[in-house]
Amino acid sequence: MIRIYGIRNCDTIKKTLAWFADQRLEIEFIDYKKTPPDEALLRTWLTQLDWEQLVNKRGTTWRKLPEEQRDTLTEAGAIEQMIANPSLIKRPLVDYQGSVSVGFDEAHFTRLVAQAR
């Protein structure tokens, strides 16, 4: 099953969920606000993605962090911040059979759907 992580009211998540609905493929949506990722899950994702790929540096949550904290953030600090502020994680995060990706990528989604069928 394809798991999609994000925040329900995010426009990119709405676009992603609509895309998958159009494909008539069953997905599981996990809302960061209702089920925030724990350290173990974040570390699993970080085996495939660099923490800088996982952190949404364009969002309000990032901009609200003190500049000094943003400038000196390490992987450990990023994990701590993503646990405390799941909105800091890029959306969507898509997990299919343990392979993870971030962002809306229709070509990638098309490949996932082909594999899932």
The residues assigned a catalytic role are 10
Exposed/middle/buried for 76, CB within 10 Å: 0-12, 13-18, 19+? exposed
